[in-house]
Amino acid sequence: MNINRMSLFIAASVVIFFQLGAQSIKPKLGEPPVKSTPYLFIDDKTPAYIMKSAIEKKINFAMYLQSSDAGWIRKNINTIGRGSLLIFVKSPTSELEKGYLDELAKISEYKVTLVCFSGSCKKEADWTHPLIKNNYTIEWKKGKNGEEIFMKKGKLVSKGSMLSATDMKDFRENPTVNGAVSFKETGFSFVSLDEEITKKTSADVWITVYYSKSEKKIKEFVEKKI
């Protein structure tokens, strides 16, 4: 009898231990979710040595595809296209942008996710690629409580959860964030490394895109590989 009681006690203790452990690792908004894949947002200001280091650490890249960056894209296209790639676009895309999108898709072996955040995103023919199937849109809509941000993929719609009031400026003219925005249903989180982390909880997402205007913080992020 004593042995049976001891076995039950041990079993119950193990269950409680794992439950408490699961609670203790629940991520906060602004922190990397438990199972998310990291993407680093890069542009013409991102140092080449950081991009090289990120590739070595197998960190994927996110970028804004725009004609004004054509020179930078052409110079770094083989580096940018290494691994999976998340590309932000405005709709409609220009012929130059379509050409670079096709090249980047080929280099990355079509491991590309497209996110349209401005313009005629509802007209998929204006910005999608025939061989890229992961297509999302981000848009602001006016509701009873003011403007709200949503991320969509087909019929799947996810309302954004924002870190602070400064995130009302996110995804307007540029695909960047000031704090952090998570979309639970679509499985995305967009996080600024320049902001302090708060105690708000984050969704358990699959992809987290990190931003920073600080070379030092980007370097630290890559070295730690969050």
Q: What is the pLDDT of residue 225?
A: 66
Element (H, E) at 147: strand 146-153
Predicted TM-score (pTM) of the model is: 0.82
| 138 three-state secondary structure | strand
Q: Write out pLDDT tens, residues 188-225.
A: 999 999 986 543 435 467 899 999 999 999 999 999 86
The residue among 197, 187, 200, 212 whose CA lies nearest residue 34 is 187
What's the CA angle centered on 174, arms 52 and 49, to 5 degrees? 10
| 212 three-state secondary structure | coil
What's 172's DSSP letter?
S
Q: What is the pLDDT of residue 5?
A: 53
Q: Write out pLDDT tens, residues 69-108.
A: 999 999 999 999 998 999 999 999 999 999 999 999 999 9
Instruction: Give the gyration radius of the chain's Cα atoms.
Output: 20
Assigned token pair, 194: 């320049």
Assigned token pair, 50: 């950081």
* Pairing mode of beta strands 60-64, 85-91: parallel
Number of helices (H), then strands (E), in the chain: 5, 11
Cβ burial of 115 (10 Å; 0-12, 13-18, 19+) is buried
Cβ burial of 200 (10 Å; 0-12, 13-18, 19+) is middle
The residue among 40, 83, 90 whose CA lies nearest residue 67 is 90
CA dist., res. 66 & res. 118, Å (int) = 12
* Pairing mode of beta strands 207-211, 188-192: parallel
Can you give the residue ranges of every domain in the chain? 28-224
Q: What is the pLDDT of residue 144?
A: 79
Q: Write out pLDDT tens, residues 15-25.
A: 333 343 433 33
Q: What is the pLDDT of residue 150?
A: 97
What's 94's DSSP letter?
P
